[in-house]
Amino acid sequence: MPEPSTRQSTLHSNFLHLYADVFWFGVLFGSTLSFIAVYATRLGASTFQLGLITGGPAILNLLISLPSAHWLQNRNLIRSTFITSIAQRSGYMFLILLPWLVPQALSEVWAVIAIVLVIALPGTLLAVSFNSMFAEVVPAQYRADVVGRRNALMSLSITLTTFVCGRLLDWIGSPVNYQIVFGIGALGAAMSSYHLWRLRPLAAVNSPISNLQSPAATSKPERLLRLDLLRGSFGQLVLAYLCFHITQHLNIPINPLFWIKTLQLTDGEIGAGNAMFFATMALGSLALPRLTARYGTRRLLGVSALLYCLYPLILGLAWDYLLFWGASILSGFVWGVCNGCLLNRLMERVPADDRPAHMAWQNVALNFGILGGSFLGSSMVNWISYREGLLVTAGLRVLSAIVIMLWA
């Protein structure tokens, strides 16, 4: 065991790198991930193609989520997180080259879809390994603070990046403007991976690269399909999260179409609205530890999940950028609280000696939610208008919040 002073030094260093990691991930999110669907929409993407961009990776994730947990059982979690982050995030570099390699707009949409699907494979391993690793390098008593600060830093980073990228997209002609935005995202992805590499295990602080392994690393390998985990209360939690994630992603393929075709917003107005969302998300994230201490994670999760219906509700009533911005400001705070509660509640319910298998089932629920929500949302607007689709989404989010209250 390391000395207490050494342990505290390692904790402090890890926290700083986790904060830096999420800050740079916010740069990636505020640039590439925030505008890739808008870019595809301006190239002429259909609702089906937008559904593939947002929900397609979930198909691949579902195929390898459970095998990824099995693969991680006997592996170093910090090293696995770093390697999979490099494999996944290097794919964002190809988006910069697309206008030169694929000059036809409709062909470029399919090229974007292909890149998104390819990087989804290592992205699944990254999601499972990072969640398992995070639970190991951040002791339970620090998680609310670390999660809250990480969310706040990410929100701040996304706010600044989204606002700047929105201005750049308006000031510079296409396609160079989007190439610059995707270049900013690639830089953020690289720096985020660098800080993941700098993490160190608490139990072996002198190793050059983390020797941290899954808690089950020395045990007999578990069977691949852990259905036993779903027979108890954890199964209800997974189902509740699945319902939430489905309704969370219903409006994702609708949003860029509604912004551009109905509200006729510019990239700058879209960027400003998204910046407002993430700015207030930072405030919600900073308030998370105090709110958690006062009301408890479970109660706070239920209330914030219920209020999460406000974004599609207010947006569905908008006729210009004003209500879009209003929805962004209000819902950002709600999501800052809700997002942190989702992770903290999951950590409370997952046993320390079997994290990868439990995290894999959460990843299955997340990706089923992304897949189901994205394709249901894109199919829904074939029958009803974009505006009506947003209002239906708001109602379904209320129902999913009730499930969260009962089973999470």
Supply the pLDDT for residue 23. Answer: 94
Q: Alpha-carbon distance 408 to 405, whole Å?
A: 6
Q: Alpha-carbon distance 191 to 196, whole Å?
A: 9
What CATH number did the domain enclosing 300 receive?
A: 1.20.1250.20
Q: Give residue 323's domain range.
A: 4-203+229-407
Give yes or no for a contact between 294 and 233, defined as CB atoms under 8 angstroms apart: no
Domain membership flag for residue 100? yes
Domain membership flag for residue 211? no
Give yes or no for a contact between 24 and 150, defined as CB atoms under 8 angstroms apart: no
Q: Alpha-carbon distance 59 to 111, whole Å?
A: 18
Domain membership flag for residue 93? yes
Domain membership flag for residue 158? yes
Supply the pLDDT for residue 129. Answer: 81
Supply the pLDDT for residue 74. Answer: 67
Q: Which long-range contacts (CB under 8 A, 24 or more apart) does 36-41 make?
A: 36/95, 36/112, 36/116, 37/252, 37/253, 37/255, 37/256, 38/256, 38/259, 38/260, 38/267, 38/270, 39/112, 39/178, 40/109, 40/112, 40/256, 41/256, 41/257, 41/260
Q: What is the DSSP string of 217-272?
A: TTSPPPPS--GGGGSSHHHHHHHHHHHHHHHHHTTTTTHHHIIIIIS---HHHHHH
Q: Which residues pair with 213 in a beta bridge?
A: 76
Q: Alpha-carbon distance 285 to 268, whole Å?
A: 25
Domain membership flag for residue 219? no
Supply the pLDDT for residue 389. Answer: 94
Supply the pLDDT for residue 208. Answer: 39
- Tokens 């929900």 label which residue? 55
Supply the pLDDT for residue 322. Answer: 94
Per-residue pLDDT of the chain (408 residues; tens, 9 = 90+): 445 677 778 888 889 999 999 999 999 999 999 889 889 888 888 888 888 887 778 777 777 766 766 676 667 778 888 888 998 888 899 999 888 888 776 678 899 999 988 888 888 788 778 877 887 788 878 877 887 788 778 888 988 898 899 889 889 888 899 999 999 999 999 999 999 998 888 764 444 334 444 444 444 445 555 777 777 788 889 999 999 999 999 998 899 889 999 999 998 899 899 889 988 988 888 888 889 989 999 999 999 999 999 999 999 999 999 999 999 999 999 998 998 899 889 888 887 767 667 777 887 888 888 888 988 988 888 889 999 999 999 999 999 999 999 998
Domain membership flag for residue 191? yes
Q: Alpha-carbon distance 113 to 251, whole Å?
A: 19
The identity of residue 226, as a single letter, is R
For residue 213, which phi and psi values (nearest 5 degrees)? -120, 170
Q: Which long-range contacts (CB under 8 A, 24 or more apart) does 245-248 make?
A: 245/365, 245/366, 245/368, 245/369, 245/370, 245/373, 246/368, 246/369, 246/372, 246/373, 246/376, 246/396, 246/400, 247/373, 247/393, 247/396, 247/397, 247/399, 247/400, 248/308, 248/369, 248/373, 248/397, 248/400
CA dist list (Å): 197 to 27, 35, 306: 18, 27, 37
Supply the pLDDT for residue 32. Answer: 92
Structurally, how many domains does the chain consist of?
1
Domain membership flag for residue 218? no
Give the count of alpha carbons within 13 A of 194, CB side only.
9
Domain membership flag for residue 222? no
Supply the pLDDT for residue 70. Answer: 66
Taking the CB of residue 239, how many other CB atoms lie within 10 A of it?
Answer: 15
Burial of 388 (0-12, 13-18, 19+ CB in 10 A): middle
